[in-house]
């Protein structure tokens, strides 16, 4: 079968229909590469990028690293929640300076805005907050 680039692709449907553990897929990539001796052909066959195949060959047993949020992150989020609860009209620039003075951490306004969205606090919520306090 040809794709738009004019290269011939051979597909093995049973490889794609079975759900494999990533380690098994890495071992499959190692086996296919040992036969074909081509990163790009192996990548096309497994429907992944050639750099992914290269990484799998270099680190065959490596799993993705899952990073837990630090304790400092929870402190920053709690500080932002408290500051917004005290002043619903506080700006991201002002929150930036509050975080810097209290915890000595510099955050971008974009990151503060993301935290505000995460904790579901935005200026759209202010009218409902004001009505509930009356």
Find how far residue 122's CA is from the centre of its chain: 23
CB 23 within 8 A of CB 61: yes
Residue 18: which pLDDT band, with cuts at 50, 70 and 90?
very low
Q: Using alpha carbons, select from 120, 111, 80 the residue that is nearest to residue 98.
A: 80
Weakest-pLDDT range from 14-23, 72-81, 83-92: 14-23
């Amino acid at each position: 079968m040809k794709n738009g680039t004019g290269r011939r692709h051979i597909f093995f449907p049973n490889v794609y229909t079975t759900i494999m553990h990533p380690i098994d897929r890495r071992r499959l990539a190692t086996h296919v590469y040992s036969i074909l001796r081509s990163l790009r052909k192996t990548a096309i066959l497994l429907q992944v990028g050639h750099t992914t195949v290269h990484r799998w060959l270099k680190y065959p047993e490596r799993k993705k690293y899952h990073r837990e949020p630090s304790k400092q992150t929870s402190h920053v989020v709690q500080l932002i929640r408290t500051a917004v609860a005290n002043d619903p009209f506080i700006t991201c620039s002002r929150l930036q300076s509050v975080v810097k003075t209290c915890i000595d951490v510099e955050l971008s306004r974009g990151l503060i805005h993301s935290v505000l969205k995460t904790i579901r606090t935005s200026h759209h919520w202010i009218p409902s907050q004001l009505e509930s306090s009356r």
